[in-house]
Structure 1
Amino acid sequence: MGKRFDSIDEKLRSWIEAQPMWFVATAPLSAEGHVNLSPRGHDTFSVLDEHRVAWVDYTGSGVETISHIRENGRVCLMFNSFDSRPRIVRLHGTGSVALLGDPAFDEVVALHPEHQSTRAVIIVDVTRISDSCGWGVPVMEMTGERDLLRLQAEKKGVDGMAEYRVEKNSMSIDGLPGLIT
């Protein structure tokens, strides 16, 4: 049976920040739109306070999370343990997008290693926190982070990354605005 939390206390914060991978789910308002579920990793996630979290969003092949959050704000983050103690924690809330030049962008980016692929910061005001057993999640071992995003960003350079974002991140698969260029 799952448990609800009133806030992200130090114990829960420590557990969340120890997870090497987590997931973010969003959806557009339109019933014809596509639900998006993305895995995340690297040192990108921060618990800002008891009801506020954020992450550094790297350039990817799509822009669904940003588009959906800009349209309606709805977001669910899921963290699960892959070690011997099973556990799943979900953070539901309302998200916002901060871009370069926004004080919130600078605040969150400063908490993490510099990465040339950084395109935005997502901030979530958490309204519901729950956990569940995770008994069906396999036990797996973390062997390391992939370095492909950094290598691609270095190869493309600043101008190449900007061009890539215009090409791939201007609009979601459902035609919603993505990154404003």
Structure 2
Amino acid sequence: MGKITDKLNKKDINFIKEQKMFFVATAPKEGKINISPKGLDKTFKVINENTVLWLNYFGSGNETAAHLLEDDRMTMMFCAFEGKPNILRLYCKAKAIQEKDKKWEKYISYFPNTNGARQIFKIKILNVNNSCGMGVPLYEFVDQREDLKKLYKKKTKKEQIEYMKRKNQISFDGKPTKLFED
């Protein structure tokens, strides 16, 4: 049986810091539900027991931003793939902060590696659910993939923006992300 609370505790925060990967789920009012695995070191920042930030880099889609315009619910999941079993789910409300937004500079300052940044999600935690995780397989962590970091280093800021304008303004379901709109 899982344990549900209304905020992160010290144990939860330490567990999050130890994880190399997490999952993000969002859904529009109609259309595909999106679940994405996320990695890349230092992209998740706990601000306090009810607020976290997630730095999102550009890629092939931008489903999370599109979905949050219709429904601001987000679920994040962290699984222990090594060590003591645990699954930690965060049930949240989230908002995309983009470079055009007034608070961008404040939030981007929390992250050391910002090359390739597309948006930051400011996430308010409503509930925290810890469950056993005994069914999650054990894996040995080798390393974070360097592919995206290498891609971002090859592209100038102008080239990154051009890519995002081509690939990240509409979701797979044809929903707007408002990445470059006011």
Task: Give the shorter-chain TM-score range.
Answer: over 0.9
In the TM superposition, residue 101 of structure 1 has moved relative to its aligned partner by 4.7
The whole-number CA distance in structure 2 between the counterparts of 1:145 and 1:8 is 26
> What residue in structure 2 maps to residue 89 of structure 1?
88
Amino acid across the alignment from 2:32: H
TM-score, normalisation: structure 1: 0.93
Structure 1 residues 104 and 16: alpha-carbon distance in aligned structure 2, compared to 1, 3 A threshold: farther
In the TM superposition, residue 11 of structure 1 has moved relative to its aligned partner by 2.0
Amino acid across the alignment from 1:112: F
> What residue in structure 1 maps to residue 110 of structure 2?
111
Could you list the structure 1 runs, at least 4 aligned residues long, displaced by more than 6 angstroms after superposition.
Answer: none
In the TM superposition, residue 79 of structure 1 has moved relative to its aligned partner by 0.4
Q: Secondary structure at the match of 2:91?
A: strand
Matched, 1:173 2:179: no
Q: Secondary structure at the match of 1:167?
A: helix
The whole-number CA distance in structure 2 between the counterparts of 1:141 and 1:105 is 36
> What residue in structure 1 maps to residue 75 of structure 2?
76
In the TM superposition, residue 108 of structure 1 has moved relative to its aligned partner by 3.1
- The number of residues matched between the two structures is 179
Structure 1 residues 173 and 83: alpha-carbon distance in aligned structure 2, compared to 1, 3 A threshold: same
Q: Secondary structure at the match of 2:156?
A: helix
The whole-number CA distance in structure 2 between the counterparts of 1:55 and 1:71 is 19
Identify unmatched segments of 5+ residues in structure 2: none
In the TM superposition, residue 163 of structure 1 has moved relative to its aligned partner by 0.8
Could you give the per-residue CA deviations for residues 62-95 of structure 1, whole angstroms, max 9, x where no partner exists?
0001111122111100001011311000001111
Q: Secondary structure at the match of 1:149?
A: helix
Structural RMSD (CA)? 1.4
The whole-number CA distance in structure 2 between the counterparts of 1:138 and 1:104 is 40
Match of residue 35, structure 1, among 33, 36, 41: 33
In the TM superposition, residue 57 of structure 1 has moved relative to its aligned partner by 0.6
Matched, 1:127 2:126: yes
Q: Secondary structure at the match of 1:66?
A: helix
Identify unmatched segments of 5+ residues in structure 1: none
Q: Secondary structure at the match of 2:29?
A: coil
The whole-number CA distance in structure 2 between the counterparts of 1:82 and 1:107 is 33
The whole-number CA distance in structure 1 between the counterparts of 2:96 and 2:55 is 10
Moved more, 55-64 or 142-151: 142-151
Amino acid across the alignment from 1:40: K
TM-score, normalisation: structure 2: 0.93
Structure 1 residues 103 and 143: alpha-carbon distance in aligned structure 2, compared to 1, 3 A threshold: farther
8 Å contact 2:100–2:180 — kept in the other structure? no
The whole-number CA distance in structure 1 between the counterparts of 2:71 and 2:166 is 24
The whole-number CA distance in structure 2 between the counterparts of 1:107 and 1:21 is 25
